[in-house]
Structure 1
Amino acid sequence: MPDTLCAMRTTLFVLALSFVPVWAVVGQERPNIVLVMADDQGWGQTGYYNHPVLKTPHLDAMASSGIRFDRFYAGAPVCSPTRGCVLTGRANDRIGVLSHGYALRRQEITIASLLAGAGYATGHFGKWHLNGIRGPGVPVLHGDTHHPGKFGFQSWLSVTNFFDRDPILSRRGKFEEFEGDSSEIVIDEALKFMRRQHKNRQPFFAVVWYGTPHDPFKAADDDAEAFADLDPVSRQHYGELVAMDRSIGTLRSGLREMNVADNTIVWFCSDNGGLAKIKPDTVGGLRGNKGSVYEGGLRVPGIIEWPASIQPRTSLYPASVLDILPTLLDVTGVEYPDSDRPLDGISLTKLFDDDLRVRHKPIPFRHTGKAALVDNRFKLVTNRLNEGGFELYDIEKDPKEKKNISEQEPVIAQRMRQQLLLWSESVDHSADGKDYPEGQVDRSEPVSRFWMDMDEYKPFFGQWKSRWEYAGRLDPESRKKRKRKTAQ
């Protein structure tokens, strides 16, 4: 009887422990959290993957002290959808972010709002691109119905889209001009935010979304110098990545200086696969590039660093930006408030101290009629979901997706096809707004549009037309050509 009682007590303790956040189990304060995302950095563009010309010493150091995911996936093959996936843990087509320049629905639940409600100070720095505005990045307006503050960010210094050297950014609607590399600027500003919260003894959640290395490319001469043998565009592109890597070093050293590095989760990734016209290759020899649902369009660099709780190693476990929200909720002990609303990711906390290999929930993708499903070693791909044409690849044996094995493995192909189609039906249900309490999508959600066509931005055209990043877009003839192209 005593043995039975002891076993029962042990079972109850284990069950109770499963509901306790990681930070409480190890007896530490709630962790700070920093999410960092590059813009168009390909899977192969890191030093730790032995890129032929690019050195990334700071990313390499981060990878060696955390979990380096060798199979980490964006939410979609372009930027805005992946950003929506990060904030919601839900596939982009569920949440209205169909492609780049689509707005995130205000009916969605974000990790920022959940952590803010749990006592975290929340801040966004850099590229936003979830307010439905297209074109090169401009400062987010105070009256924007979809600015970061509408989604749980108490502090924000943000721009609508990609941004480069000497940018204009918006601090909660107030425009500010900066000088220098954009990556270094947003990291410096994010660190100021973190220092304030640390001084106030409040845990922080900071999201830093770079504009690098998205085009147009403009690097400092010193950063581009090492790539003198490359074509001018590639030279500038890689020069931007040098500065971005340096800013990662600034972030990590800043956290150490505050004595918070051990208990701060830093999660780095890119928003989609690398660009096709940059040389040398951006995707490490994988098939496809940005815009494709093959590995080159979806697989991206991914690293989680949390010295207090993570055993450093390289992992082949398939993981995704869809896992960010469930993982952070698990870590912090914050509950997701709507059990009926589908999440597409899973918590990765079990990976922190155990080298797992088998994922029990596939990673799904759907974007502009293309779709894919990653189920451990196998990946199903279709470039026309509504018409068929499914391909099956063994990613472990064939990471470059050269051999379609759907005929050799018909049972696996059929099973995964049924899984993907069933999941896609669920996405359609969500896209129609059935997940929301209202049972429908808010009709006031904006359509995708260019800021050059918006009356709210016209008062700034006069002062912006001489800026290098806007001049071409504000030229009358260029605007006419773009309007004709959009109308076709």
Structure 2
Amino acid sequence: MTDFAALNYRRPEAERPRQSPVIVFLTDQQRWDATGIGGNPCGLTPNLDHAARSGTWFDNAHTPQPLCTPARSCLQTGNFATANGVHRNGLSLATDADTLAKRFSGAGYATGYIGKWHLAPTGSRGPVAPEDRGGYDYWLAANALEHVSDSYLTRLYDNDQQPVDLPGYRIDALTDAAIRYIGDHADEPFLLFVSFLEPHHQNRRDDYPAPEVYRDAYHGSWLPPDLASLHGTSYQQIGGYYGMIKRMDEAYGRLLDALRSLGLYEDTITVFSSDHGCHFKTRNGEYKRSVHDGSTRVPLMIRGPQVPRGRIVEDVVSTVGLPATLMELAGIEAPVGIQPSLTPVMRSVEPPAGEAFIQVSETEVARGIRTQRWKYGVIAPDADPIADAGSDRYVEGYLYDLEADPYELNNLVGLPSHRDVSDHLRERLLSWMKAAGEPDAVVESAVTSPAGRGQLEVWPSEVTS
């Protein structure tokens, strides 16, 4: 006979772990405006939107490197890609790196990783050797998930590097595994990092395979202005992309429901974010790898103990600060020298401010800075985008006024009217490069464009905004 009293039992407060469980729910290649709270009108993310009302939503969050492997290296170490040695795909995280998992493990947490890793040595598409797992003690993952699985064929590898085939649509398969992990570790503090492939494209076909129920549901849907103006591949691919995100949000809701059923919902620190965005081949021949918001701006939501409820942060922030943030919220000492926590910004009542530093590789060696008002980017014309982590010489390539042109359709670089803005941002960018451990570099001014782009003018008070 079923013991309903036992089923309904919830641990008294005194019996619960004193350390908050932590779950990172990471999507891949998801734009910030592919969420309802980020402005998308298609009803894709009701679970995320609801959770954000009991947490903090960062409305202007940016990845430090819009590419899978470097972005993930930053999320595991809290350092920029050039500082942790992983500036492009195909490089591996150092086995002695001081990582998120190692810090949490040292504080008595169980640590688990499920999904896509993409930080192991070149040639390892599936299994990942124990020393290359960043310190996580439970492992159910594949290094390059996009190359060993498909939408309805999910293959991961366990702690013994043996293949594990999971049933269901890939998002659901990973979510089921995550819920099993949570259930198995409900009575102890744990850090669980769940890393999905979706809404990343399926590489071998270059398509976005949504679950069958949503395959045709979102064709012809609303497009962000940059995609509507620049086209790229968005018209044929946005339906699948949105269908993936819809199922991703349903999975997120299932995970939160699991926490509710275990009495852990209010105790748990949860993060929803993505490694980088997606510009649908509008800025180059790929989906990311540029300084533009389509590549760099990502969803970011944190909820849990000590996190302000129902708050929208408009400051510009970088997700490289997530490791320090999670350690601070969990009461764990962060490594010396990593990028600072986002908690002061999360609790600030000052007017929106902040800057995000961006490093780009593989399509071009580029650097960028994102402020509230401006986006400024430089390109290294002599550098090899694959071999070179940086350069000692850059040339101005991008300048956008985000107040007048939020989707970066009008490049102002080289205009005499905006010379003071570029000069100011150049100094800020060089300061960031130095702080990221890059060698000294020079940034040459762009070739001056002919004056006369309408009546464009920048007031002195706007230069530093």
Asked whether 1:346 is paired with 2:340, we answer yes
> Mind listing any 5+ residue stretches in structure 1 that lack a counterpart?
1-26, 432-488
Q: How does 1:104-183 map to 2 (within 5 A)?
A: 104-133=93-122, 138-141=125-128, 143=129, 145-146=131-132, 148=133, 151-161=134-144, 162=146, 163=149, 164-172=151-159, 173-183=161-171
Deviation at 1:351, TM superposition (A): 4.0
Distance 1:390 1:191, change over 3 A: same
Please say if 1:378 is aligned against 2:374: yes
Aligned partner (choices 202, 213, 218) of residue 209 of structure 2? 218
Partner of 1:458: none
Residue 245 (structure 1) aligns with: 249
Change (3 A) 1:357 1:186: farther
Pair 229,423 (structure 1): closer, same or farther in 2 beyond 3 Å: closer
- Alpha carbons 1:261, 1:307 under 8 Å: kept: no
Matched residue, 2:292: 294
Q: Deviation per CA, 1:87-106, whole angstroms, max 9, x where unpaired?
A: 11111122222222321122
Distance of aligned partners of 1:65 and 1:397 in 2 relative to their CA distance in 1, 3 Å threshold: farther
Shift of 1:58: 1.3
Give TM-score, length-normalised by structure 1.
0.71
| Cα gap change, 1:330 to 1:307, in 2 (>3 Å) | closer
Distance 1:52 1:98, change over 3 A: same
What is the SS of the residue equivalent to 1:47? Answer: coil
2:297 aligned with 1:304 = no
Q: What percentage of residue pairs aligned between the two structures are identical? A: 26
Matched letter for residue 106 of structure 1: T
Find the counterpart in structure 2 of residue 90 from structure 1: 79
Deviations 1:105-156 (A, max 9, x none): 2232111111110111111110000013469xx5324x4652x2xx121111
Secondary structure in structure 2 of the residue aligned to 1:226: coil
Deviations 1:15-52 (A, max 9, x none): xxxxxxxxxxxx99322111111111122212334435
CA contact under 8 A between 1:91 and 1:365: conserved in structure 2? no
What corresponds to 2:359 in structure 1? Answer: 366
1:71 corresponds to 2:91: no
Partner of residue 404 from structure 1, selected from 409, 412, 434: 412
State the distance in 1 between where 2:152 and 2:88 align.
Answer: 26
Q: Secondary structure at the match of 1:325?
A: helix
- CA spacing shift, 1:346–1:396, aligned 2, 3 Å: farther
Whether 2:260 is the aligned partner of 1:266: answer no
**Match for residue 327 of structure 2?**
329
Report the counterpart of residue 209 of structure 1 in structure 2.
195
Please give the alpha-carbon distance, in whole angstroms, between the structure 1 residues aligned to 2:417 and 2:177: 54
CA positional deviation for 1:243: 1.6
**Shift, 1:212, TM fit:** 0.3
Q: Which moved more, 1:319-328 or 1:419-428?
A: 419-428
AA aligned opposite 2:344: K
Q: Against the structure 1 CA distance between its residues 228 and 336, is the aligned structure 2 distance closer, same or farther, given a 3 Å change threshold? A: closer
Q: Aligned equivalents of 1:419 and 1:234: distance in 2?
A: 36
Match of 2:288, as an amino acid? Answer: K
Q: Structure 2: which amino acid aligns with 1:366?
A: Q
Q: How many residues align?
A: 384
Does the aligned pair in 2 maintain the 1:263–1:308 contact within 8 Å? no
Indicate the residue corresponding to 1:456 in structure 2: none
Deviation at 1:324, TM superposition (A): 0.4
RMSD: 3.0
Deviations 1:422-455 (A, max 9, x none): 4434545599xxxxxxxxxxxxxxxxxxxxxxxx
Amino acid at match of 2:218: F
Structure-2 separation of matches of 1:112 and 1:176: 23
Relative distance call for 1:356 and 1:35 in structure 2 (3 A) is farther
Task: Report the Cα distance in structure 2 between the residues aligned to 1:241 and 1:421, rounded to whole angstroms.
Answer: 37
Alpha-carbon separation, structure 2, partners of 1:129 and 1:206: 17
SS in 1 for 2:25: strand
Residues in 2 aligned to 1:50 and 1:213: alpha-carbon distance in whole angstroms = 18
Asked whether the 8 Å contact 1:270–1:300 carries over to 2, the reply is yes
Distance 1:416 1:67 in 2: 29
Amino acid at match of 2:327: L
Indicate which of 194, 200, 211 corresponds to 2:182.
Answer: 194
Query: Do residues 413 (structure 1) and 422 (structure 2) align?
Result: yes
Contact 1:43–1:274 (CA under 8 A) maintained in structure 2: no
The one-letter amino acid paired with 1:349 is: T
The alpha-carbon distance between structure 1 residues 395 and 320, as it changes in their structure 2 partners (threshold 3 A), is same
Letter in 1 for 2:426: R
Aligned equivalents of 1:379 and 1:420: distance in 2? 11
